[in-house]
Amino acid sequence: MNIAEALALARQLISAAEARLLLGHVLGRNSAWIEAHRDDALGETDARDFAALVARRAAGEPVAYLLGSREFYGRDFKVSPAVLIPRPDTELLVELALAALAGQPSPRVLDLGTGSGCIAITLALERPDARLTAVDAAAAALAVASQNAAAFQASVRCLEGEWFAPVGGERFDLIVSNPPYVAAGDRHLGEGDLRFEPLSALASGADGLDDIRCIVAAAPAHLESGGCLLLEHGYDQAAAVVAMLSASGFRDVASHPDLAGIPRVTGGRLVR
């Protein structure tokens, strides 16, 4: 069998782009190389490995988990089923965080529920003077974050625990989080990639706001005066998060639209 024939077989089950990505993964090549070598013969082991990946993808497993990586803010992060797959929308949170940190030398930044570490590591790499702390309650997720930090030589302190538990009496200039925010009964949890992602990284109580309530309530005690809190949230949660931040004493509370124009990140500044 040659590459063109293997791709044609895969095409009966999955998209052409995904077939190229998966075959490229097996062969250690990119999609452009695959296209340029359509007439090359495919070894028996490679053909079998490719067929296995195609079958898993056809059964719904996310491409990111099959490849073991996902691009975020221009860098390839290792991912496993222990972590949420980085989403392009979360780059908005990174951009707002960088804007909030502009002009602040050596800021202390806390990322709650870091997962793959994509937010904390990106901030550490974009702002080498920042002092990053990344927290996650799941040891398996934190291990992925630590591996990513090491791979990028990013200086990030990784701590295991629930939300603020591991940072006791510490205060930060900026707290960011992409917490779980999907309502427990949301049908999306049973569809697409979400079926394979950790439920603990996705679902958060009846209205999806349990963890955000918890973070907003505890954040003021962990922010310096003038410090910011930035939270990613669901498509219909902006008004609720604005109300929570305002009630907790945050100023300049504002929501920011994602790539689809939906308010996706809400933040505010704490002034004492």
Annotated binding site for S-adenosyl-L-methionine, which residues?
A: 113-117, 136, 163, 178
Q: Residues 97, 181, 219, 244: which binds ligand GLN (CB under 6 A)?
A: 181
Name the one range near ligand GLN by CB under 6 A: 32-40, 56-64, 122-130, 176-184: 176-184
For residues 218 and 264, the answer to whether their CB atoms sit within 8 Å is no
Going from the C-alpha of 34 to that of each of 8, 21, 51, 55, 173, the distances in angstroms are 13, 9, 16, 19, 47
| Residue ranges of the binding site for substrate | 178-181
The helix (H) or strand (E) run that includes residue 52 is: helix 44-58
Alpha carbon 192 to chain centroid distance?
A: 16
Q: Residues 122, 178, 237, 255: which binds ligand GLN (CB under 6 A)?
A: 178
| Residue ranges of the binding site | 113-117, 136, 163, 178-181
Name the one range near ligand GLN by CB under 6 A: 43-51, 155-163, 164-172, 180-188: 180-188
Q: Residues 194, 215, 216, 229: which binds ligand GLN (CB under 6 A)?
A: 194
Going from the C-alpha of 163 to that of each of 35, 84, 111, 136, 218, the distances in angstroms are 46, 16, 9, 7, 9
For ligand GLN, what does the binding mask look like between residues 86 and 125, x meaning CB under 6 A?
-x--------------------------------------
For residues 171 and 192, the answer to whether their CB atoms sit within 8 Å is no
DSSP 138: -
Q: Residues 27, 142, 182, 229: which binds ligand GLN (CB under 6 A)?
A: 182
DSSP 115: T
List residues near ligand GLN by CB under 6 A: 84, 87, 178, 180-182, 194, 202
